[in-house]
Amino acid sequence: MHSNIVVALDYADAQDALQLASELDPSLCKLKVGKELFTTAGPHLVEQLQSRGFQVFLDLKFHDIPNTVGKACEAASRLGVWMLNVHASGGSAMMQAAREGVDKSGQEPLLIAVTVLTSMTQENLTEIGIHTPLQQHALHLADLAHQAGLDGVVCSAHEANSIKKAISKDFVTVTPGIRPASASLDDQSRVMTPARALQMGADYLVIGRPITQAENPLLALQAIHQEIRTHVNQND
């Protein structure tokens, strides 16, 4: 079964990540490995997760000179991951190099870009010399990513619709900041429910703590699928 839920494995070591994976079902979710976990557990963990049937989003957000990013993307693709990403602010040449690196690997992961980090405010952008309104800047970077041949972007579910409208309905949107109706917000501020995010044009939902911190992660994941199905049926 194709699942559009990506569980964020925000753990410090392989043991905790593998424990959670053993409680989940690869037909119900994919897994996201980020900088902390990859730094401690490395490619071996990615291979272990994949050998258990999980598709992996390698969230390392590469940003460097084009040659380095191209090589890093090629290496990441060779791990057989399902999705990987770079920072769009690295520019067109860097993103084109990323595209070429992925294409050279012989694998076909989705290659997506981060536009403006959601932790950034307008003041933070001004500080680094960018005076364009934040939303406009994010859309500009999404457009650059599309022109460089990338497959999509990480964005807020609140922006997924306008990005698809401005660029293409096939441009993939991956959205964090998702909270089931009953869950705590943790430190997220602009959240959306899974069903609403999908309605708004999100293709994949990145969900961490509502599943990883649940008493029973599999039940939490199944409940999210149920919440989505109920909502979709109501809107038929």
Site residues (CB under 6 A) for ligand C5P? 8, 10, 34, 117-118, 154, 176-177, 186, 188, 206-209
Least distance between ligand C5P and beta carbon 154 (Å): 6
Q: Residue 70 or 177: which CB sits closer to ligand C5P?
A: 177
Pairwise CA distance, residues 102 & 138, whole Å: 24
Least distance between ligand C5P and beta carbon 25 (Å): 19
The catalytic position among 32, 35, 61, 164 is 61
Residues 138 and 116 sit within 8 Å (Cβ to Cβ): yes
Q: Residue 45 or 70: which CB sits closer to ligand C5P?
A: 45
b/e per residue 197-234 (b: at least 16 CB within 10 A): bbbbbbbbbbbbbbbbebeebeebbebbbebbeebeee
Half-sphere exposure at residue 160, Cβ-oriented, CA atoms within 13 angstroms: 25
Least distance between ligand C5P and beta carbon 148 (Å): 20
Is 61 a residue of the active site?
A: yes
Half-sphere exposure at residue 141, Cβ-oriented, CA atoms within 13 angstroms: 24
Q: Residue 152 or 208: which CB sits closer to ligand C5P?
A: 208
**Active centre residues (catalytic):** 61
